[in-house]
Amino acid sequence: MATRTTPDTPSASAHHKTPVPRSRVILASLIGTTIEFYDFYIYATAAVAVFPALFFIGVDDTAKLLASMATFGAAFVARPIGSIIFGHFGDRIGRKATLVGALLTMGIATFLIGLLPTYHQIGLWAPAMLTILRFTQGLGLGGEWSGAALLATEYAEEGKRARAAMWPQLGAPFGFILANGFVLFLTTLMSFDSTADSSNMSHTFMMWGWRIPFLASLVMVFIGLYVRFKLEETPVFAQVLKQDERVKAPLVEALKTAWLPMIQGTFIMIACYVLFYLMTAWILSYGIGKVEKGGLGISYHDFLMVQLVSIIFFIVFIPVSGWWADIAGRKQQQLITTLLMSLYGLTFSFFISPETIGTGEDANIVLLTAYMSVGMALMGLSFGSMSAYLPELFATHVRYTGSGIAYNAASILGAALTPFVAVYLNSIGGVGYVGMYLSAAALLSVLFIAITGETKNRDLHTIGR
């Protein structure tokens, strides 16, 4: 049975130090999440511009987009399952081996999507296999994030955990830039315009060009595997192994001893998820969507440029979040940031409605870029310290499982439905309704942040609660 110590005081035994170069830890935690999120976003981009025409049938464009978004959401249903599966092994055999397994799961699924036949070739088997592989992507990502976050936090110096934990968080915007940058390059090279060519089955990009980013992910996976195989186990988990303090069933133990932190962590993350998938998946469909269907009618190429510029603010504010959380504490930093998210949601109809922005070639790209950059800055402030905040809620022997379940259960509530719901809300009431959805989610997160204690000074060597 695990030894019980107080979570806010150092353990009796001296903290073990493993002589692993800090640069290797940073690279291993960053490169894996970058690859995983690249794979994830490649699908998100294709789900808006390619999959509705290649994998779904029907005459109504909105219905096909909704069907494509539904398969996009399948990965979020899989993510909590992935966190349970990989969390079990992460808390039983170690962080290193489990992270390798998560990376392989995501990489193989992404590669196979690039080989799929379309609906026009094999009928309903095409969307069925697409959904299965999307589900498998979710399993992989479900095990990736918590392992990478633990890798960073369990190696971190005292008082600098949030700053150390921000490195795997940078994988999200880096993966996004790689994915969208690659697609931007291909669409430019192949002269693909989504507003005119997305239903043209004979266009080079629609025939085979879209497959290239999926197939190329295999090269990145090999690089990630090389880096991770050179990694050593974290000193915190090495202590657990040395003292034989592992539990036989981490999920059962987490449900018994850490059910409250799992609930708190889940709802703390909801606003962060809603904002991000509004600013990436939904807004892409809105930006390039047909004007008569409530979209802005901006070309795919131009809108990808807008997203690539705004994502820079995501990158810049992730380190700011880590620094702020180490200085002021996780609770205060997250509380202020999430309140600002709620206010931001109330401004959608004033800044990104067709009446304000304009449509097609007359759209105000500068205003749209500036507004999205504000949203991405808030996203960086929220996401940056989450990789310290969530793991700190849990004891060592259930930390992989508990933090993974919290993070990925939030993905169902905050991300899986967001693009789908946002498309629907925009169709019935405009972007103002979408903004109110974000505001409501943010206020829910504010409530749970307010009732959750500060975790800044907790000892990660603690076994039990």
pLDDT, residue 59, reads 55
Q: Does the CA dihedral 52-437-287-297 come out positive or negative?
A: positive
Is the confidence at residue 277, as pLDDT, over 90?
Answer: no
pLDDT tens column, 326-348: 999 999 999 999 999 999 999 99
Q: Count Cβ neighbours within 10 Å for each residue of 128-160 and write b for 16 or more, e otherwise.
A: ebbbebbbbbbbbbbbbbbbbbbbbbbbbeeee
Give the position of tokens 């979570």: 7
Cα Rg of the chain (Å, integer): 22
Q: Would you tell me the crossing angle of helices 22-49 and 95-113 to the nearest 10 degrees?
A: 30
Q: Is residue 187 pLDDT above 90, yes or no? A: no
Give the domain ranges of the chain. Answer: 22-450
Number of alpha carbons in the 13 Å side-chain half-sphere of residue 89: 16
CA distance 287 to 271: 22
Q: Indicate the helix (H) or strand (E) that contains 277.
A: helix 259-277
- 271 against 197, higher pLDDT: 271
Give the lowest-confidence range in 14-18, 24-28, 140-144, 147-151: 14-18
**Per-residue pLDDT, 20:** 60
Amino acid at 438: L
Q: What is the pLDDT of residues 413-434, one digit of tens each?
A: 888 788 889 988 998 999 999 9
Residue written as token pair 């392989």: 104
Q: Which of 385, 453, 393 is nearest to 163 (CA)?
A: 385
pLDDT of 127: 87
pTM: 0.81
Closest C-alpha among 134, 452, 456, 422 to residue 269: 452
22-450 belongs to CATH 3.20.20.70: no
CA 328 from centre of chain: 25
